[in-house]
Amino acid sequence: MICLHVWQPSGVARPVILLLSGPNLNLLGDRDPEVYGTDSLLDHVTATRERAHDQDFDLEHIQSNHEGDLIDAIHGARKRVAAIVINPGALTHYSWALHDALAAYEGPVVEVHLSDPKKREPWRHLSVVEPVAISSVTGKGGAGYLEAVDIAINACTKNDG
Ligand code: DQA
């Protein structure tokens, strides 16, 4: 596994974590608050970015309701960003195209979900992203985003030596 910040000249830019949010996550706060909580997506992104900054990483965030946009973002991450943290929303459960794009990315991928899909409807039990992720953090609400970014950064830091 390659962590790309190893390649960056020192003193230039901080390594980047790409946080990807899939369909409907733009509605967080409003959508099913009993399942997903009352924090907005911006709340989660802000907290996750602060956590990354504390560890000298930058964080880029892209949310899209379109599968192809997310795949393009993953392609754009190749040979550029240190790690990807992704909550693919419902694409988790059927997007083999997302799976393939993540498999073609050379750095660590961490999957995160606010809820625990495996404890919900049967159609949510399969994650096609899980096989290409080093870790899946589920059912921890917003704290899961912080844990996911820590896991991604640890994977990069470990590879530094
Ligand atoms: C989700 C779980 C998915 O099953 C669902 O489609 C979502 C949100 C989560 O964060 O818990 O949109 O990814």
- CATH at residue 115: 3.40.50.9100
Give the residue whose CA is nearest to atom 9 of ligand 1. 113
Task: Give residue 59's domain range.
Answer: 6-160
Instruction: Answer yes or no: is 106 within a domain.
Output: yes
Give the residue whose CA is nearest to atom 1 of ligand 1. 89
**Could you read off the pLDDT of 49-94 as tens digits, one per residue?**
999 999 999 999 999 999 999 999 999 999 999 999 999 999 999 9
Number of domains, the chain: 1
Instruction: Answer yes or no: is 1 within a domain.
Output: no
Joined together, the tokens standing for residue 50 give: 């602060």
Q: What does the CA dihedral 91, 22, 36, 112 come to, rounded to 10 degrees?
A: 80
User: Nearest-5° angle of CA 147, CA 149, CA 152?
Assistant: 110
Ligand 1: atom nearest CA of 23 is: 12
What is the per-residue pLDDT for 160? 55
Mutate to test the pocket of ligand 1, among 85, 115, 127 (most ligand atoms within 8 A of CB): 115
Neighbouring residues of 158: CB distance < 8 A, sequence distance ≥ 6: none
Q: Global pTM? A: 0.93
